[in-house]
């Protein structure tokens, strides 16, 4: 299962929070999956994925998404460097 594999990769590499910035649609996609998934086992895995990825400042997410929409990646790379 892809979700379980993604969780394992994140846990074993410590690559938390940053995937939201490298893949700007990730948070939107995960949120949509939580809202639409009917299978409770998969839904729990999706929620575990969110917990594994970690919390991120919503203001920073909006800023990165806006910059990606404008095609400016220079500042988003700088913002990523401030993350743990």
Chain centre distance of CA 82: 16
Give which of 80, 55, 83 is closest to 68, Cα–Cα.
Answer: 80
**What integer pLDDT is reported at residue 45 of this predicted model?**
92
pLDDT at 48: 92
Buried b (16+ CB within 10 A) or exposed e, 50-65: eeebeebeeebbeebb
User: Can you give the pLDDT at residue 74?
Assistant: 53
Give the domain ranges of the chain. 2-81
CB atoms within 10 A of CB 6: 16
* pLDDT digits (tens), the chain, 84 positions: 788 898 898 889 888 778 877 887 888 898 899 999 999 999 999 999 988 888 777 787 777 777 777 775 554 455 555 555
């Amino acid at each position: 299962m892809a979700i379980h594999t993604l969780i394992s990769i994140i846990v074993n590499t410590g690559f938390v929070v940053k995937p939201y910035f490298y893949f700007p649609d990730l948070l939107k996609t995960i949120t949509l999956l939580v809202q639409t998934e009917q299978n409770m086992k998969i839904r729990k895995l999706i929620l575990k994925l969110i917990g594994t990825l970690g919390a991120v400042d919503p203001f920073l997410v909006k800023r990165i998404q806006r910059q990606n929409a404008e095609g400016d990646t220079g500042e988003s790379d700088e913002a990523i460097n401030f993350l743990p």
